[in-house]
Amino acid sequence: MFQIPDHVRPVRDRVLRFVDEHVIPHERGLDRPWAESVTLLTELRERAKAQGLWALGHPAEIGGGGMAMRDYLFVNEAVGRTEPGQAVFGTNTLQTALLLHKHASPATRAELLLPLVERGHGVSFAVTEPGVASSDPTQLQTRADLVDGEWVVTGRKWFTSWVDRSSHVLVMCRTEPEHVPVHQAFSMIVVPTSSPGFTVVRDLPVLGLHDVLSGHFELAFDQVRVPADALLGPRGAGFTLSQERLGPGRIYHCMRWLGQAQRAFDLLCRRANDRHTGGRPLADRQLVQKMVFDSYLQIQSARLMVLHTAELVDRGDQARVEISAIKVQCAQMVHDVVDRAMQIYGGEGMTNDLPLESMYRHARYGRIVDGPDEVHVQRVARSISRSYAGDTPTGWDFATR
């Protein structure tokens, strides 16, 4: 279960080699906004496609590699060694592509899905709103009313990624009256970014990050009109669709964070051996040895939990407890490992001579993206506690998960 399968190793090795030989040497060139880095990114994408390394986790029937979740984990670890890797290999569209693949109408699939997978961009996902706690999406204020055969969308969204390279946005909005139960009152609507009344208000700066994957926008919808059949999936199914997208996405984040942590761990351990103080390498110092030990423990523990979660998903289990648990664990793990590596490098670790300072900012963002850690902690504790309650408690049996 814990070893790289024989059929996966050749693909993983090729991805790892591509990352180390072609992507990491160009990190500086990709550490720029989309408009400034798109030429370099396009060149690297074409190289990846030519080597059969494009969209490996996407279903084969929509132009991807068709890898199972657990197999893909080993590959996405290699992709995650460098933050731009997900853009270079087309993995950044996987969450949205899976949602469209399952729920889009034939016309929407033809218009959006295949181009999304092929191009690596084109459709954004808008849920979060200014002034509304993202930990409680039942409070979302954006709404759509059906008027004369068209949805009229009004409201604001923010932290909607990559709108600058998207032709459409999937908008989570209230479509049902107040008496409808709140978790059945929201829908997903496909809105063209060219629609009258659609406005990009601003690009939100996030922790000083300006790389090729940056671009998190605030949007305004002022009486935006789209056809009645612009719904994605059934009316009132917005919450279900949102969780279908976010659940696997959290696993993909964890996969990449493992790759980031491996790279930071390598840097930490090499520095501990190369740098001497008082005539001895740092690796001989007990405080440094504790850093190595704690990093090993966190990475290995997180990796085994992610593997287990991916296997559950491949078996058809929703794995909600496990997904929430690894999201919290892995976000903290990569933050801690990168932080220790920065500490070992001292002042150099704070500069962009090394990838650590950028990795650190991305790691901090990870404790909020796709749900703040506190929400996932509460969800795990509540689910497990409830399994021991009631007239016929099942309990939580670790051995049978």
As given in the structure block, the two tokens for residue 245 are 């997208």
**DSSP one-letter string for 139-178:** G---EEEEETTEEEEEEEEEEEETGGG-SEEEEEEE-S-T
Question: Of the candidates 247, 199, 223, 276, which has an alpha carbon nearest to the alpha carbon of residue 69?
Answer: 247
Instruction: Give 285-307 pLDDT, tens digit per residue.
Output: 999 999 999 999 999 999 999 99
Q: Which residues of the chain have pLDDT under 70?
A: 1
Question: Of the candidates 319, 325, 313, 326, which has an alpha carbon nearest to the alpha carbon of residue 255?
Answer: 326
Q: Three-state DSSP class for 196? A: coil
Note the pLDDT of residue 12.
Answer: 97
Q: Kindly report, as residue ranges, where domains of CATH 1.20.140.10 are found in the chain.
A: 240-400
Q: Angle, nearest 10°, between helix axes 356-366 and 238-274? A: 150
CA distance 389 to 386: 5
Q: Which fold has domain 240-400?
A: Butyryl-CoA Dehydrogenase, subunit A; domain 3 (1.20.140)
Question: Of the candidates 252, 247, 245, which has an alpha carbon nearest to the alpha carbon of residue 70?
Answer: 252
Note the pLDDT of residue 156.
Answer: 97
Note the pLDDT of residue 322.
Answer: 97
Element spanning 357, H or E: helix 356-366
Q: Which fold has domain 9-119?
A: Butyryl-Coa Dehydrogenase, subunit A; domain 1 (1.10.540)
| Amino acid at residue number 372 | P
Note the pLDDT of residue 39.
Answer: 95
CATH 3.40.640.10 fits 123-236, yes or no: no
CA distance 262 to 78: 9
Q: Is 267 exposed, middle or buried (0-12, 13-18, 19+ CB in 10 A)?
A: buried
Question: Of the candidates 217, 230, 241, 225, which has an alpha carbon nearest to the alpha carbon of residue 157?
Answer: 217
Note the pLDDT of residue 134.
Answer: 77
Bridge-based pairing state of the strands 150-161 and 168-174: unpaired
Q: How many residues does the chain have?
A: 401
Note the pLDDT of residue 1.
Answer: 61
CB 50 within 8 A of CB 18: no
CA distance 166 to 93: 11
Q: Kindly report, as residue ranges, where domains of CATH 2.40.110.10 are found in the chain.
A: 123-236
CA distance 125 to 127: 7
- Report the chain's mean pLDDT, rounded to a whole number: 94
CB 258 within 8 A of CB 299: yes
Note the pLDDT of residue 128.
Answer: 94
Instruction: Give 68-85 pLDDT, tens digit per residue.
Output: 999 999 999 999 999 999
CB 219 within 8 A of CB 198: yes
Note the pLDDT of residue 15.
Answer: 98
CA distance 96 to 98: 5
